Every structure is written in C-alpha cells, then in structure tokens.
C-alpha cells in the first residue's frame, strides 16, 4: 500500500487536523485567555508558573511513556488504535475548555494538560505510520506534505478564530471572551472531523497475525523496549543522529519559544505577535513542500544542513533586530525553514530504524523532541547573567542599565549558535548507509 495516493493524503490530513490545536490553543489563545480569564485576579508571576508547570508535566509524561507505548503498539499492530485513542482524548479535552468558568484555573490547567497529552501522544503513532504509506524514494516529500498541510490547516482555522475574536458581533457573539471559548469548540470539531480521513484511508501493516490479549501485548511490548536498549550498541548511527537532532532541534525550539518574549521585550503589541505567527503558518505551507522536493532532488542531508545554516543566520539576525518590520521578515525566514527541518529530520530518521518497530523508535524520537528546548533557555539565561555582570559598569545610570541590559540579552540569544554548530558537526558524522545496514540487520533479528 506504499505510495498509494489515498493513503498518503489520509496520513497528511492528520497534520491538517491536529495543527489546529497547536496554533489556536497552544500557541494562540490558551496562554492569553488563561491569564485574563481562568486565572483572573491571580498574581502574574504565579499564573505564569501555573501554566509552565502544566506544560512541563504534560511533556514529561508523554516523553517518558512514548517509547513504551510505541513498543506496545508495534507488538499488537495497534498504531492506528493508539492514534485514535490519544487524538480523541485531545478532541474531548479541547471541547471541554468551553465549560471552564472564570477563575477556575485548576480545571483549565488539568484539561489543558490532558489535551496536550492527547496531542503529543497521537503524534508518536502518526509519525510511526509514515513508513507504511511511503517508500524510501518518496518519504521525504510525503513527510514534508504532512507538515505543509499542518501549516495550512492550522493557519486557516487560526485566521478564522482571530477574526472571530476581533469582530465577535459579525459572528453573532456578544464579546471576544465568548469568541475565544467558541474557538476551542471549533478546534475540537476540526480535529475530530478530519481525523476520520486518517482512520479510513491509512492502512497499517500487520506485524503479528496471532490473536493476543491485552496483557500479552503489553508484556511483549515491555520486553521489546528492554531489548531495544540493549540493541543500541548495534545502532550507533541511530544514537548519533538522535544526539545531533537533540542539539539542533533544541536550537529550533528555543528560537520558536523565545521569539515571542523577545518581541514583547522590544515593545511589540500582542497583535504584532499574532500577525507574525500567521506569517509563519502561511509561509510554512509552500516552504515545507519545497524542502520536501529539495530533499528528493538535492539530497536530504544537504537540505538539513541548509536549514541549520539558515537558522544560524536567523540567530545572528535576532541579536541585531530593533523594529517590528524586521520581526515580520524574521517570521518569513523562519517559516521558510521550520517545517522543512522538521519534516526532513523525520524522514531521514525513518531510513535508520527497523521498519517493523517504527512506533517504538519514533517513541524515542518524539521523546527527544519533547525534551528539546531544555539546554537552549538555560544556556541563554546563564550567558545573559554572565554578560550582564561583565558588561555593567559600577553604579550604572538608568540609561546604562537599559543599554547594557539589552546588550547582555543579545549576547544570550547569540549563544544559541552553539546548539546549531554542535548539531551540525554531529550530523556530519552520521553515516546514512551504515545506518540503513544496521536497520536491515535488526529487522531480520
């Protein structure tokens, strides 16, 4: 069933479906609505801590469980079943946000955490189905197609929801707060409805035709996971790639997360940041497809190196940015490479792993993805503090405090170059042909 057009579109449409949660809920409305509505009357720093802990708990849970869930899904040929379970858990939780009333921050955080678990958990099994719908010659483009559809689908619904909040009366709603709550309902409907196409159109290769009980599947999955840790001594190429991926994707995620804060520190308005987010979405749609074709024609390794190089340029540019026009241009450049580096990393990894255990190995891949953006913010914080101490003169004037404080911040952003540089060096050492040979050997064991 590989390279079947219907299966490929069914697989890509799941990215179209679930990206609505990533844009409208995670990146767009939830953080703002949480501070202004659900955590109303709470100290700003306390509400930030509440939201931060919620994100951390959800990410840590999925990161730790992904490899085990992947191993279980592989043994029971249950990748689609797990995808359905986690996807509709996310759908249900997203719809439930509509019911949370002002001041009920505990319920808001709990439902949000469960929604993130659904979103991230389903992605493990969505990624693992990629080798089932595309062969090696087509996998780079298909992976990029998924990301491009995600950018387009998530961006279109987010645009509609932004318009609904800016002009609620045009949609028959009394105010912007009600519009945001209905936006959560729209995400649930969008996510749930388009996931049906993935369920109906995407096949799943059976790895074990014997009828097994749930206990047997779980026990075999756990045993396989333990065995995989032992296999890593035979999978040096996979380990090296994952290490390289961890470094450079940490840089990517740090820029994504810090861009908004940096824009706010420069005095940009919230609407400016929403415009920048929409720019990334709509530029990312065609750019991801272009990178997929580039991976096919030019080579996936070269295309990933190109993306890393552009991100290094983005980081340098960020240290010198002074106005919102530059911020918009930066959003365009990020949109050009963000989906490409994510898509090609996913498809490159598929060449290095045993095909009959893709869910499990993508569990490890997603685990590292969830742990990304750990080193970057810490590195920025440490460099910023050191630079501030070294640059700030004794008894500074208020003007000197502002000037040298901003200069220290720019040095902290520049430190992210280290992550891209280390990631590029490690990726250069990855031997793709050796990795394919290791994967073929373990597929037969």
**Greatest extent of the chain over all pairs of C-alpha atoms, in Å:** 76
Neighbour count for residue 299 (Cβ, 10 Å): 14
Global pTM value: 0.78
For residues 247 and 373, give the distance between their C-alpha atoms in angstroms, rounded to a whole number: 9
For residues 34 and 50, give the distance between their C-alpha atoms in angstroms, rounded to a whole number: 10
Please give the angle made by the CA atoms of 8, 9 and 15, to the nearest 5 degrees: 105
Token pair 């750990």: residue:
374
Which one, of 300, 345, 109, 78, lies nearest residue 204 by Cα? 78
- pLDDT for residue 357: 74
Average pLDDT, 10 consecutive residues per value, the chain (445 residues)? 85 96 86 78 62 71 76 74 94 96 88 91 88 86 92 94 92 92 97 97 69 60 64 76 91 72 62 80 89 87 95 89 83 89 91 79 75 68 81 84 76 88 95 83 66
Q: Is the dihedral of CA 393, 398, 399, 403 positive or negative?
A: positive
For residues 206 and 381, give the distance between their C-alpha atoms in angstroms, rounded to a whole number: 48
SS3 125: helix
Contacts of 424 (CB under 8 A, 6+ apart): 244, 248, 305, 308, 309
Token pair 């824009």: residue:
263
SS3 445: coil
Domain 5-373+415-444 falls under CATH 1.20.1250.20:
yes
DSSP 246-266: HHHHHHHHHHHHHHHHHHHHT
Contacts of 107 (CB under 8 A, 6+ apart): 38, 100
Contacts of 174 (CB under 8 A, 6+ apart): 168
Please give the angle made by the CA atoms of 206, 117 and 27, to the nearest 5 degrees: 120
Neighbour count for residue 60 (Cβ, 10 Å): 12
Residue 263 near residue 325, CB atoms below 8 Å: no
Rounded to 10 degrees, the C-alpha dihedral 15/423/61/97 comes to -40
Residue 333 near residue 47, CB atoms below 8 Å: no
For residues 258 and 369, give the distance between their C-alpha atoms in angstroms, rounded to a whole number: 17
Radius of gyration of the chain (CA): 22
DSSP 28-62: IIHHHHIIIIITTTS-HHHHHHHHHHHHHHHHHHH
- pLDDT for residue 291: 86
- pLDDT for residue 211: 47
Token pair 């990146």: residue:
27
- pLDDT for residue 257: 61
């Amino acid at each position: 069933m590989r390279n079947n057009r219907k299966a490929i579109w069914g697989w890509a449409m799941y990215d179209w479906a679930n990206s609505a949660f990533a844009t409208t809920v995670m990146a767009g409305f939830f953080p703002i609505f949480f501070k202004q509505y659900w955590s109303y009357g709470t100290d700003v720093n306390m509400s930030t801590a509440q939201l931060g802990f919620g994100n951390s708990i959800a990410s840590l849970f999925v990161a730790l469980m992904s490899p085990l869930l992947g191993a279980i899904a592989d043994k029971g040929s249950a990748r689609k079943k797990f995808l359905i379970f986690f996807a509709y858990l996310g759908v249900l939780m997203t719809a439930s946000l509509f019911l949370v009333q002002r001041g009920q921050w505990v319920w808001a955080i709990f439902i949000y955490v469960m929604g993130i678990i659904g979103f991230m958990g389903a992605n493990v099994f969505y990624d693992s189905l990629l080798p089932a719908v595309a062969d090696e010659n087509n996998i780079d483009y298909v992976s990029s197609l998924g990301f491009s559809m995600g950018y387009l689908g998530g961006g279109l619904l987010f645009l509609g929801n932004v318009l609904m909040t800016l002009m609620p009366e045009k949609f028959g709603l009394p105010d912007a707060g009600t519009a945001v709550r209905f936006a959560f309902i729209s995400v649930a409907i969008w996510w749930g409805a388009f996931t049906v196409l993935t369920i109906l159109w995407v096949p799943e290769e059976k790895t074990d035709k014997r009828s097994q009980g749930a206990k047997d599947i779980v026990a075999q999955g756990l045993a396989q996971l333990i065995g995989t840790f032992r296999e890593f001594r035979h999978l040096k190429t996979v380990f090296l790639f994952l290490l390289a991926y961890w470094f450079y994707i940490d840089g990517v995620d740090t820029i994504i997360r810090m861009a908004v804060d940096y824009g706010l520190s420069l005095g940009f308005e919230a609407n400016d940041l929403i415009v920048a987010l929409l720019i990334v979405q709509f530029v990312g749609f065609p750019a991801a497809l272009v990178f997929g074709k580039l991976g096919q024609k030019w080579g996936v390794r070269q295309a990933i190196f190109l993306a890393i190089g552009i991100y290094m340029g983005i980081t340098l540019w960020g240290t010198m940015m002074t106005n919102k026009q530059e911020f918009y241009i930066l959003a365009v450049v990020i949109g050009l490479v963000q989906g490409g580096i994510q898509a090609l990393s996913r498809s490159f990894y598929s060449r290095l792993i045993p095909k009959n255990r893709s869910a499990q190995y993508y569990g490890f891949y997603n685990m590292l993805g969830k742990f990304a953006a750990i080193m970057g913010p810490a590195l920025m914080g440490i460099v910023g503090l050191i630079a501030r101490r070294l640059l700030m003169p004794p008894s500074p004037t208020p003007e000197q405090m502002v000037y040298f404080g901003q200069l220290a911040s720019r040095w902290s952003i520049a430190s992210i170059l280290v992550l891209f540089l280390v990631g590029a060096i490690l990726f250069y050492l990855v031997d793709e042909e050796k990795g394919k040979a290791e994967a073929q050997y373990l597929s037969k064991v």
